[in-house]
């Protein structure tokens, strides 16, 4: 839970820096649009000035042509038709002269307006340079933010891979069940193997005792047949039987002592087994309590995340 709480502020910082980068990019785009609009206005002004100059030149050429024609007509003999033409040309001349005057006034007004606009544009050059500098600084900040965001993304990917490498509770539960099954299989095989070894040892001991008993009986029969012919032989045979009886009693006492020792060991192992069974029951109970608490912890974490999302 502490790890989750550490990761949440880091994610918030990443989100804040990403928003800052986006804002800087939007500001940079806005400045670029403004610069393009100022360039377009300046080009339109130059184009209008050029058009006004061309129109003025064409009007001056027409005026000069009319003046030349008037002078030529003045030199010729006047007649009625020529006089009418002259009057028409003079009227046209006066009209062109009035148009020229009006056009000059209009050009003068346009020139004053363009001068004012040019002065304003020159005044705005310093803000434009400041805007360009701000745009450069914003681009530098954006680039630094991108690099920092890339580093944070790499760190986040590394942490995500490390978190993915940690098994979940479900996987751990599955592993525990599989290990328990494997342990039970190994324990059963080991128990069966021990039983086979015990059975083999018991049968081997039985075989050895039977062989000893058979050898003893054969020796007794052989000795009896040899000693039954004389009194001294019978006494030796009785003494040998007595000695053999004592040895057998001693062997029986050793076997009984070993039996009691093994019985005591079995009782001790039964007590240890009972203690282990109790510990197993307690462990399973603790495991169930732990799973219950883990589920409760997951519910509380999800509730905390929902509350934080609502606050944001």
pLDDT in tens, 189-245: 999 999 999 899 989 988 988 898 888 888 878 777 777 777 777 787 788 888 888
3-state secondary structure 112-179: HHHHHHHHHHHHCHHHHHHHHHHHHHHHHHHHHHHHHHHHHHHHHHHHHHHHHHCCCHHHHHHHHHHH
Output the pLDDT for position 77. 47
Structure-derived torsion over alpha carbons of residues 270, 275, 278, 280, reported in degrees to the nearest 10: -100
Task: Enumerate residue ranges in the chain where pLDDT < 50.
Answer: 1-12, 14, 77-78, 125
Output the pLDDT for position 1. 40
Residue with tokens 């012919």: 229
Cα–Cα distance between 241 and 225 in angstroms, integer? Answer: 14
pTM for this entry:
0.36
- Pull the structure tokens for residue 290: 């732990």
Output the pLDDT for position 8. 43
User: Which residues make Cβ contacts (< 8 Å) with residue 134, sequence separation at least 6?
Assistant: 31
- Pull the structure tokens for residue 145: 């933010």
* Tens-place pLDDT, residues 277-311: 999 899 989 988 988 898 898 889 888 888 888 87
Asked whether 60 and 47 are in contact (CB, 8 A), the reply is no
């Amino acid at each position: 839970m502490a790890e989750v709480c550490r990761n949440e502020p880091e994610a918030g910082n990443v989100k804040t820096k990403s928003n800052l980068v986006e804002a800087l990019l939007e500001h940079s785009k806005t400045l670029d649009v403004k610069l393009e609009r100022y360039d377009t206005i300046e080009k339109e002004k130059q184009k209008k000035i050029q058009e006004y100059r061309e129109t003025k030149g064409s009007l001056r050429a027409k005026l000069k042509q009319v003046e030349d024609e008037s002078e030529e007509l003045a030199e010729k003999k006047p007649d009625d038709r020529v006089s009418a033409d002259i009057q028409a040309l003079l009227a046209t001349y006066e009209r062109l002269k009035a148009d020229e005057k009006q056009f000059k006034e209009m050009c003068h007004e346009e020139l004053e307006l363009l001068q004012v606009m040019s002065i304003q544009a020159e005044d705005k050059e310093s803000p434009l340079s400041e805007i360009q500098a701000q745009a450069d600084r914003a681009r530098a900040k954006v680039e630094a933010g991108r690099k920092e965001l890339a580093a944070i993304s790499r760190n986040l990917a590394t942490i995500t891979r490390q978190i993915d490498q940690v098994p979940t509770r479900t996987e751990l539960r599955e592993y525990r069940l599989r290990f328990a099954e494997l342990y039970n299989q190994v324990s059963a095989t080991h128990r069966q193997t021990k039983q086979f070894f015990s059975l083999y040892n018991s049968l081997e001991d039985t075989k050895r005792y039977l062989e000893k008993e058979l050898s003893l009986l054969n020796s007794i029969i052989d000795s009896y047949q040899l000693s039954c012919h004389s009194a001294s032989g019978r006494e030796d045979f009785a003494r040998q039987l007595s000695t053999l009886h004592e040895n057998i009693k001693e062997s029986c006492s050793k076997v009984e002592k070993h039996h009691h020792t093994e019985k005591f060991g079995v009782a001790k192992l039964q007590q240890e087994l009972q203690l282990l069974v109790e510990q197993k029951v307690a462990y399973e109970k603790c495991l169930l309590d732990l799973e219950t608490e883990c589920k409760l912890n997951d519910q509380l974490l999800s509730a905390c995340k929902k509350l934080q999302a609502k606050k944001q």
